[in-house]
Amino acid sequence: MSKDLFLDVIRSKEFYVPIITIMFSILIVSASSRIVKKLFNDDVHDFGAKRRRTVVILINNIIKYLVILIAFVVILSSWGVNVSAIVAGLGVAGAVAGLALQDALKDIIMGINIILDNYFVVGDLVTFGDFTGTIIEFGLKSTKIKSVDGTTLIVANREISQIRNQSYKNASIQITIPVAYEEAEPKVKKELERICEEISKWDEVVGEAQYLGINNLNSSSVDYMITISSRITDKWPLKRKVYAYIKNEFDKKHIKIPYQQIEVHHGK
């Protein structure tokens, strides 16, 4: 190839337009990705941050595919291809595909709405109809909800018209502790107040655990009560953990928790 021919090839728009287009496309995608991440930057362990991170991924993917599509059209145009005919053909193909894939498109659109409107995120406790469970997987087409007994419900996103998210509020847990009548009230109160101070330091607890006092006088026990606030998803594991902790602490201080007993009297 002669030098003049080589220079003609380099100078032709069929050569330099695709290269410049690809370079600009890469720069635009890279820059937009950094800008979007910076706008939505936050602690990845926070639920709100998880939602924001999902939005970041969604926005970056939309920008990437739009840039690729525009770059593809520009390159074809520089090569002398009739772009308007291709665009028209894509429009017809898109309309046909839209009719054939209506349900799938509804799922995807609803999935995007769930992300943008912060309906829920993986780990949230939700109620769908009469089914309550934790979101274990979320995609643009379907959502998986797992109940306490292990049953998994798979719901198409287009069917999630009403869903109650219980993770937006904290759970209030009332713990009733039966204590034998012979145990002095000041001693039990002092120990339960100390226990509440320790429980308040646990990661699962929101705010402070509080000692409420005597709740009931039963036939064989004095019932004391404490209250604890936690995230709704931690409610039942935390309640079991608190009961175990109180039992161990009462054993150390020799505070008696009564239990049913039967006395048998032998006559002469």
Condensed to tens digits (0 to 9), the pLDDT of residues 227-257 reads 998 877 788 889 999 999 999 999 999 999 9
Q: Which region, left, alpha or beta, applies to residue 266 given φ > 0 means left and ψ of -120 to 50 means alpha? A: beta
pLDDT tens for residues 10-44? Answer: 666 777 777 888 888 888 888 888 887 776 665 44
pLDDT tens for residues 49-87? Answer: 556 666 666 677 778 878 888 888 888 877 777 767 666
Per-residue pLDDT at 93: 61
Per-residue pLDDT at 5: 59
Please tell me the CATH code under which domain 120-167 is placed: 2.30.30.60
pLDDT tens for residues 91-136? Answer: 666 666 555 556 777 777 777 777 767 777 777 788 888 888 888 8
C-alpha–C-alpha distance, residues 71 and 69, integer Å = 5
Coil, helix or strand for 43?
Answer: coil
Per-residue pLDDT at 105: 73
Domain boundaries, the chain: 3-100, 120-167, 170-253
Per-residue pLDDT at 194: 94
Residue 222 has pLDDT above 90, yes or no: yes
Per-residue pLDDT at 114: 76
The neighbour count for residue 165, using CB atoms within 10 Å, is 16
Is the CATH code 3.30.70.100 the one for domain 170-253?
yes
Residue 196 has pLDDT above 80, yes or no: yes
Per-residue pLDDT at 134: 85
Sheet holding 222-231, edge to edge: 170-179, 222-231, 210-217
Encoded tokens for 120: 């829920």
Look up tokens 């100390």; give the residue. 194
C-alpha–C-alpha distance, residues 22 and 19, integer Å = 5
Per-residue pLDDT at 43: 46
The rounded mean pLDDT for the chain is 79
97-105: which pairs have CB atoms within 8 A and are 24 or more residues apart?
103/156, 103/158, 104/141
pLDDT tens for residues 134-182? Answer: 888 777 678 889 887 888 998 888 887 778 877 766 778 889 999 999 9
